[in-house]
Chain A
């Protein structure tokens, strides 16, 4: 209730106005809440002290520097079981980030494709996609992860691994793909691609300014693509050729190439399939939320189909799509903690082992909850920033 209306009211029970628009009762409630929270916190804390003392534990983060002795199957940074707990937890966090970032990227692509298929004019495609989406959305993710993990373990042994594409091998031990060697040539090559993208973006900006200034539009697609292909080609000609390492069968195992463990692969596939079904529904409802009159009006102006989509439909659909997409990305990141069910060494899984070994439950749980909270808040901050850029600007 706004202070102006309550001031005009005869006698709202017990509301005595204090300076600054606060009411006495309101103040009392807040003081009681504060006292309650503090008292509860103090009670819990003193209990924890007693309990930890009884178990011979001491609160503190000193254990982080002790040797962990946790074997971790896959680590993106150098790791040995003799490393410290903080190192082990960092490895877990990097594993979480790896699956989350790749997952968000892939689920966007598949989700948009599925959403478009769901809107197709073809009833057969529409129906099949709809059935698939409903099936995926209405079964628990844990079940799907366990299923994909079981599928991975059913794959043939390394010696009989499936070879669907040159350099790609699927076996019980996971996926083997060609790797790019980490050397200066690779970074120069990637730098060239990045330069091309920046160049394209600058070109777009200049052409848009030009269009606004003199109303003339020059094509940007062709020069853009020329840059995107030309810059890396120049880098190749200049001798910056990244080395591709192909996996080769040697004895009982592969040598070279990038190995993706069955756990990682199952987790990634499960998360992407699950989340992309939700993304598909978001994309569908976003595109459907644009009034058909918008497209018809654009067509009446003589715009070609591609531009109608790009200039009229998509900017309006994105406004509806972005906010729920944010929560899907967050869901995917949080759901990646289900890795513990299939044994992928993510943050929660490593933290769980650390708790079992050290008994420092409060500290470890505080650490990983803080990390997830930070990830959630920063992702939603980033997406809110993007959202404010595409949101309806009312002039």
Chain B
């Protein structure tokens, strides 16, 4: 029983198991806690295992699922591509697929320290519009596809990427504005940041969805996805601005003074001296903030955009596959968990490697 709970195999496995057991049963209180944990595991783990694996149906029909009584992973299998592409026209599905592949490649490239630099920025500047063109079509002989047909993981990816790509430059400007010596500029930036951070994202989404059309000239309509992006970009910008401001404040005064002493203008000072350092030291917090923002993409459900989670929920309405909500929730939670957990591990890794002195 205890061996199965031991840490993964290492060079001195026996010694590690020994240390683990000693730590588990040091003193009466500790032993009691260990026993309580084991009791909880004994009662909770087998039914969960039995449901998720033991009696699970991996492929087949809804009837077979109901007969087996366990988790119906066949349902997820059936709806997997729907959860990624949503209602996107079937024969055009290669387009969101290509878009997601570009996204994955770009994200993987961005995680590599040796890729960081001007080329990566150029890469993103090319990739982001390309992703949108691929999805929307209408040029290069691509059939136009209305945004109301977009859905699933592909729209989650678009919102996250565009929110960050548009919000990040805005965040830097807002952070600089909040630290500016110009009183009006400082007030303006502070007001924008605090107002956006002080209200829930939902209210911004409502504002963009319902109020924004009222503020545009008559005859001008903004696509629903574009309205979501306006709200989400503003939200991203305000939260990122606070992270960037932390970096700006952490820069020693000497850096500012030295840049001024060699006669750099404000923008030269910021672009060449301050921002590169301030942005680098805050990368871990930026990733952490982005994890929160990424989870918040699920909120677009309130104005009827079918993101990954909402698409899965919509799949629950299929009359042939009624009653497999738990499977859908577990699958969605798993996907979000893998993505967010990977990001948070990456952020911890960066925190270790970006320490001054190890660079």
Contacts and interface: CB of A to CB of B under 8 A. Distances in A.
Q: Note whether A and B form a binding pair.
A: yes
Interface of A: 1, 5-6, 9-13, 26, 29-30, 33-34, 37, 44, 47-48, 50-52, 54, 120-125, 128, 134-135, 137-143, 146-147, 150, 334-335, 337-338, 340-341, 348, 352, 355, 361-362, 365, 368-369, 372-373, 376-377
Given A5-B260, A51-B213, A134-B341, A337 B185 contact: no
A12 B263 contact: yes
Contacts of A121: 23, 26, 30
5 contacts: A121-B30, A337-B203, A361-B211, A369-B207, A372-B198
Contacts of A48: 214-215
A140 B329 contact: no
Interface stretch (B117-125, B176-184, B351-359): B176-184
Interface string B325-343: 1100100110011001100
B346 interface: no
Given A361-B211, A377-B198, A30 B34 contact: no
Given A146-B329, A365-B210, A335 B344 contact: no
B352 to A, nearest CB: 16
B199 interface: yes
B271 interface: no
A51 B206 CA distance: 18
Nearest to A49: B214
A138 B261 CA distance: 46
Interface of B is mostly: helix
A282 to B, nearest CB: 13
Given A33-B188, A143-B309, A147-B329, A124 B24 contact: yes
Contacts of A120: 33
A124 B21 CA distance: 10
Interface stretch (B50-58, B107-115, B293-301): B293-301
Nearest to B41: A128
Given A140-B296, A337-B202, A30 B185 contact: yes
B216 A9 contact: no
Contacts of B298: 140-143
A1 B215 contact: no
Contacts of A52: 214
B23 A369 contact: no
Closest 8 CB pairs of A and B: A138-B340, A376-B198, A334-B200, A337-B200, A140-B295, A30-B184, A142-B298, A140-B298
B13 to A, nearest CB: 15
B358 to A, nearest CB: 21
Contacts of B215: 44, 47-48, 51
B108 to A, nearest CB: 20
B126 interface: no
A372 B199 CA distance: 5
A120 B257 CA distance: 47
Nearest to B183: A30
Contact of A37 (B188, B203, B265, B340): B188
B5 interface: yes
B202 A122 contact: no
A190 to B, nearest CB: 33
A123 B329 contact: no
Nearest to B343: A138
Given A138-B295, A138-B336, A365-B210, 16 more contacts: A1-B260, A9-B260, A10-B263, A26-B182, A30-B184, A34-B184, A47-B215, A51-B215, A122-B37, A124-B34, A137-B344, A142-B309, A147-B333, A150-B329, A337-B200, A348-B200
Given A5-B260, A338-B299, A365-B203, A26 B214 contact: no
Contacts of A141: 295, 298
B200 A372 contact: yes
Contacts of B313: 146
A9 B269 CA distance: 14
Contacts of A376: 197-199
Interface in B204-253: 206-207, 210-211, 213-218
A55 B114 CA distance: 56
